[in-house]
Chains A and B, each alone.
Chain A
Amino acid sequence: MEHTTSPLGRWTLAALVAGTAYVLAYSQDVTLFFYYPMVGEWHWLPQSEALGPRITYYGWKAIGLLAGGVTLLLPRRWTDHLPTDTVWVGALLLATVVCVHESHWFLK
């Protein structure tokens, strides 16, 4: 397996950490903030059901972005020798986890 000394390692790790943080956040239903589209309000904490359905998706993506952003701050020497194949193997693994986690919708 080939290794790289380009910025690929750093960006690969950031992408996979972001993806993992996103998957963990949504599978555990943890989010940074809530959006209530019926009233157009953003809240840090869940509100009364009177405000209508809430959206947690934006908060999950924000968690992923934050996690990925922090990973980009790691020293480059830590990520320089990441195998180049890590990026697509990691992407496939995360996509598989998502499909398995959501399979219950098709079994009801």
Chain B
Amino acid sequence: MMILVLLLHAVCSLFLVGALSHQAAATWRRAPATGRPAGVVAGFAAVRAPLYARAIAISYVLTMVLGDVVYGPYRVDVKTMLFDLQLWPWNGVFEIKEHLVALGFFLLGPYLVLWRLPLDPVQARSRRLLTTALAAIVWYALVSGHLLNNLKGVGF
């Protein structure tokens, strides 16, 4: 059962990292795209970013809650092993992950306000940098979670 939750957690985080990366890239686009994007990079950023916001917020909460469920067995099995083997940097990697994810969760309120239509041009810089910060948090969480799972998976 816990492996299923872990897999769901991973799938949700993949969706989240994809959506947030597209949205963050769109905020760095120089001018609104007209017609077909010229290349892969332009196409990656040429999304209707405001439409992503609510799905991203829901996905973020869902991914975090699934992570919270997995955290119980992680605390018993994996964290204990990290301490027993004195793998302190790996524990640090996870500690940073859990704290950044919590901070990102608290930032979802202003994030949703910033993406409310019609978009306020005065808030463009805050929208860009907050979305990018959230994307960075989610990327860090995904990569660190994957590496830690390689070290010792929950439920195995």
Chain A residues near B (Cβ < 8 Å): 2, 4, 6-8, 11-12, 14-16, 18-19, 22-23, 26, 35, 37-38, 52-53, 55, 57-58, 60-61, 64-65, 68, 84-85, 87-88, 91-92, 94-95, 98-99, 102-106, 108
Q: Is the interface of A mostly helix, strand, loop or mixed?
A: helix
6 nearest CB pairs, A to B: A105-B92, A37-B72, A88-B129, A11-B109, A18-B106, A108-B88
- The answer to whether A64 touches B68, judged by C-beta atoms less than 8 angstroms apart, is no
Q: What are the residues of chain A within 8 A of B102 when measuring CB–CB?
A: 19, 22, 57, 60-61, 64
> Cβ of B130 < 8 Å from any Cβ of A?
yes
| Interface footprint category on B | 35 or more
Chain B residues near A (Cβ < 8 Å): 68, 71-73, 75-76, 79-80, 86, 88-89, 91-93, 95-96, 98-100, 102-103, 105-110, 112-114, 116, 120, 122-123, 125-126, 129-130, 133, 137
- The answer to whether B133 touches A88, judged by C-beta atoms less than 8 angstroms apart, is yes
Interface residue from B73, B93, B126 paired with A87 (Cβ < 8 Å): B126
In the assembled complex, the CB of A2 is this many whole angstroms from the nearest CB of chain B, namely 5
Give complex CA distance A45, B125 in Å: 44
